[in-house]
Amino acid sequence: MRIVRPLSLLSLCFALGACHHATVETGLEPSLQTIHEPWANSWIAGLVPPSTVETAEKCPSGVSKVETQRSFLNGLVGVLTIGIYTPMEIKVTCAAGSGADAAGPADVSIGADASLEEVQEAFMRAADQAVEERQPVFVEF
């Protein structure tokens, strides 16, 4: 019995001190441009997430990486507010631009009377072009 109480207290300290960290990489080459929100508002232990980080204006070439984490201070605030206010840190790394990005997405057009083989060939061409240029390609009928 004497060892159960200290072990429970120690386990509780480890659980409360845990930090959350998640990284999402898109595969695009990163640039030096970042968007950083060290105190993004989240509520009720994360059930109400922070608002969306608007990246379209600051990252015209897209996003390379998104990192979210709860730092020790974010976690401490969450514990002090009994989980009602649980802030998190969000860091977005913009993608590096290229000449292809400035032109915008490419188009592949398919005629209304195209045969099945022509449609398949157009989609194959669009897929190859999207992989090569690392940007979307629109297929129009």
**Per-residue pLDDT tens over the stretch 52-86:** 898 888 988 889 999 999 888 888 898 899 989 99
Residues 88 and 36 reside in one and the same domain: yes
Residues 44 and 87 reside in one and the same domain: yes
Looking at the domain assignment, is residue 75 inside a domain?
yes
C-alpha 72 chain-centroid distance? 22
How large is the C-alpha radius of gyration of the chain?
Answer: 24
Looking at the domain assignment, is residue 109 inside a domain?
yes
DSSP state of 136: -
Looking at the domain assignment, is residue 56 inside a domain?
yes
Looking at the domain assignment, is residue 6 inside a domain?
no
Q: Please, are residues 41 and 80 in contact by the beta-carbon 8 Å criterion? A: no
Cα separations in angstroms, 2 against 14, 29, 75? 19, 56, 29
| pLDDT value of position 134 | 78
pLDDT greater than 70 at residue 18: no
Residues 93 and 106 reside in one and the same domain: no
Looking at the domain assignment, is residue 119 inside a domain?
yes
Looking at the domain assignment, is residue 37 inside a domain?
yes
The tens digit of pLDDT for each residue in 20-51 reads 788 989 888 999 999 999 999 999 988 898 99
pLDDT greater than 60 at residue 139: yes
Domain that includes residue 116, residue range: 100-140
* Model confidence, pTM: 0.58
